[in-house]
Amino acid sequence: MPTFSHGKVTFNYNSDLSGDIIISTALRYNELQVPGEALLAFVAEYVRRQRIGALEDASASEILGVHNDL
């Protein structure tokens, strides 16, 4: 089971994110189990909102991928 740590938080998960992801913290010695699909949906929604915001703020040239050096 792969492990990822960030600061005092550790994630234990299946490599394909199937099943539960076990999130533990050294701060309180707590453990939380979250379905992998729920965590994927949460992260995907965050990324979606970031991309939409960037697209809404982009100029026409940025959207089209052209550079107007006039």
* 25-70 pLDDT per residue, tens: 887 678 888 898 888 898 999 999 999 999 999 999 999 989 766 5
Domain count of the chain? 1
**Residue 52 lies inside a defined structural domain of this protein:** yes
**Residue 41 lies inside a defined structural domain of this protein:** yes
pLDDT of residue 17: 84
**Residue 69 lies inside a defined structural domain of this protein:** no
**Residue 68 lies inside a defined structural domain of this protein:** no
Q: Helices (H), strands (E): how many in the chain?
A: 2, 4
**Residue 11 lies inside a defined structural domain of this protein:** yes
Expressed as residue numbers, the domain containing 25 is: 3-60
**Residue 65 lies inside a defined structural domain of this protein:** no
